[in-house]
Chains A and B, each alone.
Chain A
Amino acid sequence: MNTDLHIILLAIPLLPLFGAVLAGLFGRQIGRAGAHWITILAVAGSLLLSLYVFKLIVFDAMPAINTSIYTWAVTGGLKFEIGFLIDSLTVVMMTVVTFVSLMVHIYTIGYMHDDPGYQRFFSYIALFTFAMLMLVMSNNFLQLFFGWEAVGLVSYLLIGFWFKKESAIFANLKAFLVNRVGDFGFLLGIAAIVVSFGSLDYAEVFAVAPTAVDQTISVFPGVEWALLTFVCICLFIGAMGKSAQAPLHVWLPDSMEGPTPISALIHAATMVTAGIFMVARMSPLFELSEVALSFVLVIGAITALFMGLIGLVQNDIKRVIAYSTLSQLGYMTVALGASAYSAAIFHLMTHAFFKALLFLGAGSVIIALHHRQDMREMGGLRRVLPITFVTAWLGSLALMGVPLFSGFYSKDIIIEAVHLANRPGAGFAYWCVLLGVVVTAMYSLRLLFLTFHGEPRMEQSVREHAHEPGWVVTVPLILLAIPSVFIGYFSIEPMLFGGFFGDAIHVAAGNDVLAEIGSHFHGPLAMAVHALVTPVFWLVVLGSALAVAIWFWKPQLAVWCRQRFSPLVHVLDRKYWFDEIYQAMFARGSARLGNGLWRYGDIAVIDNLMVNGSATLVGWCAGLLRYLQSGYLYHYAFAMIVGLIMIIFTYIILA
C-alpha cells in the first residue's frame, strides 16, 4: 500500500481528533467562531477524504485494505495492534458518519447559539466523530472495543452536557452503566475469542473460526455449549447495550436529555448503529451459529414491535422519535438475525439520513418554541416553520416506508428477508415486523399532526415569537432530506444485489435470503409498483388511516381511545415497568447489598469483632493479669501459699 493512502486513512480519524483537542483545550483562546470553524473544517476534511476512499473502493474496485498502524502491546506470542480494515462495509459507514456529523456540526451553530458551553460542545462532537471512525475502521477487536467505549464516553459527556440539570446527569450515568452491562458481555466474548483463537485480528479469527464449529465450552458443569454460539451471543450482548435492544434499551429514551444535535448524531444516526455494524462485521462468526442468529432475530423483533408501541403514547416530541429509533434498530437487528446483513446496513444508512433529519427537524421546532418539547403545547406550526414542516414530512414518509422513499426500500427488503428466513423464531419475527409497520405509520403521523397541523395550542407569547431558525439549521435539513427521499431508489440495486459488499459480509450458502429476493428483483421502480399488491403497503395505509382518523380528523377519538384502552395505555405509559424494575433490583438492590456488606461484613465482623475484638481481648486478658501484679507483698505471699498447697495436694494425690 502506498504511503499517500496510508496518510489519508490516518487523517480521516485524526482530523476530528485534532479539532476536538483544539476546541476543547484552547476554547477560550480561539473563541466561539474559532471552535466551530476548526471542527467543521476538520470534519469536512474527513468527509472529503472518506468520499475519496469510497470512490477508490467502490468505483475503482480497489481491493480491501488491511493494515496495521502501530503495535499496542506484545505479551508472549500475542500481538495487539492498532490498524485499519477498509472495505466496502467500512467506507459506507465512514461516509455516513462523516456526512451526518458534518450536518450536525453546521446545525449546532444555530442550535447552541446562546449556550455558554459552545466550544465544549464542538469539542465533544468532533471527539465523537474520531471515536466512531476508529470503531468502524478497526481491523481488530481491541480497537473495536476502544472505539466502542470511547463513543460511550462521549455519549456520556453529551447526555450530561447540561450538567446542572439533575435529569441530565441521572440519564448519562444510566446510559453509561447500561452500556457497561452490554460491554461486560462483549468483553467476555472477546476473551473467549482470544483464548480460543489466539488472536484479536479479524482476518485471523475469521480464518480460524470455521474449524471451531465443533468446539464446546462448559460454563455450568456438565452443560456443554457450542463455543461459537457462546462467543456470538456474548458479542451480541454488547450490541444490545450499544444499539439499545430490549431489555438493555432503557437508556436511549433518557438520553434525550442531551442537546438535540447529539440526539440526531449519536442517538439516532451513528453510535447506536455501532452494534448493527459490529454484527455485520462479524458475519463470518455469526453465520456459524444458527442459535445465535435466532437469538438476534427474536431480540430484534421484540424491540421492533414493542418499543414502537410506546412511541404511540409519548408526548415529548424527542421521545417519540427516540422510541421510533429503538423500533427501527429492532428492524436492523431482525435483518441481521435473518442473515440479511446487507439489508441491515442498507437500513442503517437510510435510517441515518431520515432519522437525523427528523431529530434536527424536532430541534428546529424546539428552538422556535424556546425549548418546549411537549407536543400537547404545539400544533399548527406548518405556517410558521415551512421548511421544517416539509422536510419533517419527507423524513416521516421515508420512515413509514411509503413506496419510492428511501425507507420503503430498506424496510420492505427486511420484511421480505424475514419472510423467507426459516430459522427458529422467524415466524414470530415476521409478525412483529409486519405489525410494526402499522405502528410506525401511526406514531409518525401522530407526531406530524400534533406538531404541524390543527390549531396552535401554545401560549400566545410563544407563538408570536416563533419563527424558522436561520440557514445553519435549514440547510442541513434540506441536505438530509435529499438522501432521505432518493438514496434508497438509487442504491438498493448496487448495494444489495450487485455484490457490493463482496467479502466484507459473509453469508453461508443456505442462508442467503437476499440472493433469493434478488432473483425476483426487477429494478427499484418495479419494486415500488409491485409493493401496491403486497400486505406491507396496505398495512402502511391502515396505520395511516388510523392515525388520520384519531389525531387529525376527529381528535376526540384520541381521548376516546385512551379511555377505551386504558389498561393498555397504562402499560405503555409505564413503558412496561422496565425502569421501575431495574431501579429497584439493580440500583437500590446493589446499594442495599453494598451497605449490608459494609456495615455487617467490614464494620461489624472484620473491624469490630476481629480487629478491635482481638485488641479488646488482649486488653481484657492483660486486665486479668494485672490483678496478679498488684504490688502488695501479702498478695504475692498469699499466691505463693496457695500454689504451695496445690503442689503438695497434687503430689499427694498422684503418689
Chain B
Amino acid sequence: MHLLSLLVWLPLLGAVLVLAVGDQRPMLARILALLSMLVCLALCVPLYAGFDSGSAAMQMVEKMVWIEAFNIHYHLGVDGFSLPLVLLTCFFGVIVVVAGWVSIQQRVAQYMAAFLILQGLMVGVFAALDGMLFYIFFEAMLIPMFLIIGIWGGERRVYATVKFFLYTFLGSVFMLVGLIWLYLQSGSFDILTWHDFPLSLRAQQWLFMAFFIAFAVKVPMWPVHTWLPDAHVEAPTGGSVILAAIMLKIGGYGFLRFSLPITPDGSAALDWLIIAFSLIAIVYIGLVALVQQDMKKLIAYSSIAHMGFATLGFFVVVAIVRDAGVTDAANMGLTGGMVQMISHGFISGALFLCVGVLYDRMHSRQIADYGGVANSMPWFATFAVLFFMANSGLPGTSGFVGEFFVILSSFAASFWYAALAGLTLILGAAYSLYLVKRVIFGDVKNKAVAELQDLSAREFAILGVLAAAVLLLGVWPDPLITLMQPSVDQLLSHIIQSKVS
C-alpha cells in the first residue's frame, strides 16, 4: 500500500475531477470534493493503525529515483512528528469543505479544487524525506493558497496575497540556497543522510540562518509576522482555517526536521535568537492582540503568540541540553512544542470557523458591530466560549497541554524564560475573554444581532467535532504524546551529538 502517495495524489486527482464537473454543477462539485476528503480521512485509519509508535524510524517509506543526475528521489515517510501533522491535515480537509458548503457560491468547483490541491501538497510537505521534493511541495503549496485568498478574499485581498506570497517566497529562497549547498557538500538530497552529515560550526551557522529565515516567515515569528494578520483578514473562512491550522505548522515542523538535527551546533550557538523572538512573540504580540478591533486580526495575532510557544519549546531544549544534557525537561520542551502545534491547529481552526459563522450572517468582522450574541445564538456562544477558553490555555482543553509543558521546560533553562512565557496566562486570557465580553456577552447590541439565527446542523456538527477534539486532547493527551516519544528521543540524541568534525 502506498498510503502516503495516495494521500498526496488522491486529492489532486479529486481536484481534476471537481474541475471537470465545473462551476455549473456546484452541488456535484461539493459532493465530489467531500468524497475525496473523506476517502483521505479514511486512509488515515490504516496509516495510524499501521504506525509503530515504539519506533523512531521513518515508516510507510516509499522511495524511488526521480532525477538521477542530481540524486533526487521521490522519497516519502512519516515518523512521530510528521504523522500527527498528516492526520491533522486530512482532518481539516473534511472540515473546510463542509464549512464552505453554503457560504461559497462563486466558482464552487474551483474553490473546492484549490483546497484539494492544497491538501495533497501539504501532506507532501510533511511526508517528504528528500530535500528537493520538500522544497517543491513547500513552494507549490503557496499557489493554491494565493488563489484562495486572491479570488475568494475580502476587499484588500490583492495587497494581502502579494504580501503573503513575497514574504514566504523571499524566505524560502534562502532555504533553497541552503539545500543546494548541502547537496553539493554531501552529494545527496536525502534529509536523513543530512541528519548525520558532519559540518563545520561556521557552515552550520550559515545553514541555520538560511533555514531560520524560511521557517520563521512561515511560523510566523516576530518580526516577520505582519503578513499573517493581513492574509487572515482577507482570506475566506476556509483559507484562514487551513492557514492557521496547518500551514503555520510547516514552519515549526521545518525546525524539527531541518534546523535541529542538521545543524545542532548551529542551533546551540544561535538558540538565543529564536528564544528571544519567541518570547517577544508571546508578550509583545499578546499585548498587540489585546487592542485589535477586528476579530480575525485578533485571532491572527493570538496565533502568532501561540506559535511562539512551539518555537520556544523547540529551542529551550537546545539550551537545556547544552547545560544539563538530555533531561526530562528537554523531552518536555520538544513534546510540548509539538502538542502545542497540534492543539493550536484545532483551536485556531475552530476560532476562525466561529468568526466565519458570524461573518456569514452579519458580513462584519468588527468587534464593535457585535454585542450580546449569546442572547440570539446560545449554542454558538457555548462553543465560542469553550474555544476562547481553550485559547487562553484552560486546563482540561488541549490549549493547556502544550503551554504547560513548554513553561515547565523553560523553567529548567531559565526562570525568566518561564516567567515571560507564563505571562500568557494573563495576556492570553485577557485578549480572548475581552473579545468574549464584547462580542458574546452583554445586552443585544443592535437589531441585526437580535435577528441572528443560531447554528445550523452543519455548523453545529463541525464545531461539535472540534470541541470534542479539543476536550479529548486536553483530558487525555497520552495517545498523541506516546506516538511522538521515540521521535522526540531520537531528535534529542541528534541535538546532543556535536557534528563539528
Residue B367 at the chain A interface, CB threshold 8 Å: no
Chain A residues, CB < 8 A from B418: 188, 191
Is B375 in contact with A180, judged by CB distance below 8 angstroms? no
Interface flags, A112-145, vs B, CB<8A=1, else 0: 0000000000000000000000000000000001
Q: CA–CA, A169 to B438, complex, Å? A: 9
Instruction: Specify which chain B residues have a CB less than 8 angstroms from the CB of A591 in the assembled complex.
Output: 290-291
Indicate whether A180 sits within 8 Å of B425 (C-beta atoms), given known contacts A150-B396, A169-B437, A188-B419.
yes
**Is B455 on the interface with A (CB-CB < 8 A)?**
no
* Per-residue contact bits, chain A 11-44, to B (CB 8 Å; 1 contact, 0 not): 0000000000000000000000000000000000
Of B223, B394, B427, which contacts A606 at CB under 8 A? B223
Q: Is A190 an interface residue (CB 8 A)?
A: yes
Identify which of residues 368-405 in chain B touch chain A, using a CB-to-CB cut-off of 8 Å.
372, 374-375, 385, 389, 394-396, 400-401, 404-405
Q: Are A75 and B331 in contact (CB under 8 A)?
A: yes
Residue among A70, A194, A593, A594 making CB contact with B408, cutoff 8 Å: A194
User: Judging by beta carbons under 8 Å apart, are B335 and A75 in contact?
Assistant: yes
B200 in the interface (beta carbon within 8 A): no
Q: Is the CB of B441 within 8 A of A169?
A: yes
- Let me know if B412 is at the binding interface, CB within 8 A: yes
Q: How far is the CB of A20 from chain B (nearest CB, A)?
A: 13
A610 to B170, CA, bound (A): 14
Interface of A is mostly: helix
Q: Residue on B with the closest CB to A183?
A: B425
Residues of B400-443 at the interface with A, using a CB-CB cut-off of 8 Å, are: 400-401, 404-405, 407-408, 411-412, 415-416, 418-419, 422-423, 425-427, 429-430, 433-434, 437, 440-443
Residue of B nearest to A76 (CB): B331
Given contacts A166-B442, A606-B223, contact A190 B408 (CB under 8 A): yes
In the complex formed, the residue of B with least CB distance to A168 is B441
Using A180-B425, A219-B415, A601-B284 as known contacts, say yes or no to A153 and B331 having CB atoms under 8 A apart: no
A607 contact from B226, B401, B405, Cβ within 8 A: B226
Interface size of A by Cβ–Cβ distance < 8 Å?
A: 53
A183-B425, A188-B411, A598-B291 are contacts. A76–B434 as well, Cβ < 8 Å? no
B185 within 8 Å of A (CB atoms): no
Which residues of A are found within 8 Å of B423, using beta-carbon distances? 184
In whole angstroms, what is the CA distance A156 to B388 when docked?
Answer: 13
Is A7 positioned at the interface, with any CB of B under 8 Å from its CB?
no
At the interface, yes or no: B31 with Cβ under 8 Å from chain A?
no
With A and B bound together, what is the CA distance between A166 and B443 in angstroms? Answer: 8
A581 at the interface (CB under 8 A from B): no
B85 to chain A, nearest CB (A): 19
- Which of A77, A601, A606 interacts with B328 by CB under 8 Å? A77
The distance from the CB of B166 to the nearest CB of chain A, in whole angstroms, is: 8
Which of B167, B292, B412, B422 sits near A188, CB closer than 8 Å? B422
Given A149-B394, A180-B425: A73 in contact with B481 (beta carbons within 8 A): yes
Total contacting residues, chain B, CB less than 8 A:
64
In the complex, B221 has a CB within 8 A of chain A: no
**A50-79 interface with B by 8 A CB criterion:** 70-78
A177 sits at the interface (CB 8 A):
yes
A165 CB, nearest partner CB in chain B, Å: 8
Q: Can you list 15 pairs linking A and B with CB atoms under 8 Å apart?
A: A70-B476, A76-B489, A149-B395, A153-B394, A156-B433, A169-B437, A173-B437, A191-B411, A195-B408, A195-B411, A198-B328, A590-B290, A593-B287, A610-B223, A611-B227
Add 20 more A-B contacts to A590-B290, A590-B427 (CB < 8 A). A73-B335, A75-B331, A75-B405, A75-B481, A77-B328, A145-B395, A149-B394, A156-B433, A164-B443, A166-B443, A170-B437, A173-B433, A177-B426, A184-B426, A187-B407, A192-B411, A194-B408, A198-B328, A595-B291, A611-B226
**Which of B's residues lie within 8 Å of A, judged by CB?**
163, 167, 223, 226-227, 284, 287-292, 327-332, 335-336, 372, 374-375, 385, 389, 394-396, 400-401, 404-405, 407-408, 411-412, 415-416, 418-419, 422-423, 425-427, 429-430, 433-434, 437, 440-444, 475-478, 481-482, 485, 488-489
